[in-house]
């Protein structure tokens, strides 16, 4: 019996370690051929690939996803080695926790580009091929309450970027639904690897398996009509009410 993602090519951006590694290995266990992306951490990406090869096939690919030419080359290399991407998980994105008065332009620019530019550029690369196949799954990463106007003094650039990601998710879902392509977002709460760890209602933090479960739900054949949704995996936590 085939795994449910056999014959699919999946890319998880930022899959050298932590949540990205966990999701890449999870997709491999379901039969997908997995492209492991990294920017600087090649050694960590190699470790991810070794785990993937216990279940499936894959390769590692390097790129700065905020740079248009590097993104185009990345996807060209993936197509040559594994085939066109069927499942894109846009996980990569830098975080910031600083008062706005201490936020330099370089830091502001980095957070916007690594979260929003990277998502836009990667989606733009995969959509023409998904359109030709008349099937595709894109999962973008937002954050809790980014689908509403949220003002946070220490994470302002991050929320600006993630709100943009969710807006992009919804417009792409609308535009490409007729090609059997779904575009959804997952918005984690406080992860065990998060930089800031405010108290949560449950007293605990989201585990990688919790995020994996949300992605499995989106990728399930029964979820084909789920499109343009933002799934919060936060255990009831909301910023600003702790």
Which are the catalytic amino acids?
158
- Phi–psi pair at 12, nearest 5 degrees: -115, 115
Beta strand 58-62 with 33-38: parallel, antiparallel or unpaired? parallel
Beta strand 58-62 with 181-188: parallel, antiparallel or unpaired? unpaired
Which positions ≥6 away from 176 have C-beta within 8 Å? 127, 130, 131, 136, 183
3-state SS, 161-211, equals HHHHHHHHHHHHHHHHHHHCEEEEEEEECCECCCCCCCCCCCCCCECHHHH
Give strand pairing partners of 59: 35
Separation CA 47–CA 73 (nearest Å): 23
Q: Do 56 and 82 touch, CB atoms closer than 8 A?
A: no
Using alpha carbons, list the distances in angstroms from residue 57 to 37, 109, 130.
14, 36, 21
Within the chain, what is the greatest distance between any pair of CA atoms? 57
């Amino acid at each position: 019996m085939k795994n449910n993602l056999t014959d699919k090519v999946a890319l998880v951006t930022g899959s050298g370690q932590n949540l990205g590694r966990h999701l890449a290995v999870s997709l491999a266990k379901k039969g997908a051929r997995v492209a492991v992306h990294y920017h600087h951490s090649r050694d960590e990406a190699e470790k991810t690939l070794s785990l993937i090869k216990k279940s499936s096939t894959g390769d590692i690919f390097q790129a700065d996803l905020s740079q248009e030419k590097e993104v185009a080359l990345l996807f060209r290399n993936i197509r040559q080695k594994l085939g066109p991407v069927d499942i894109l998980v846009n996980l990569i994105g830098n975080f910031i926790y600083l008062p706005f008065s201490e936020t330099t332009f370089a830091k502001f620019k980095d957070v916007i580009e690594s979260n929003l530019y990277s998502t836009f550029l990667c989606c733009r690369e995969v959509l023409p091929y998904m359109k030709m196949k008349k099937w595709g799954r894109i999962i973008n990463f937002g954050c809790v309450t980014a689908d509403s106007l949220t003002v946070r003094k220490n994470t302002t650039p991050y929320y600006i970027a993630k709100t943009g990601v969710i807006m992009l998710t919804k417009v792409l879902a609308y535009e490409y639904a007729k090609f059997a392509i779904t575009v959804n977002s997952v918005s984690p709460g406080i992860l065990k690897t998060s930089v800031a760890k405010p108290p949560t209602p449950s007293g605990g933090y989201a585990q990688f398996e919790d995020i994996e479960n949300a992605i499995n739900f989106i990728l399930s054949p029964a979820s084909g009509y789920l499109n343009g949704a933002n799934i919060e995996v936060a255990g009831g936590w909301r910023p600003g009410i702790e």
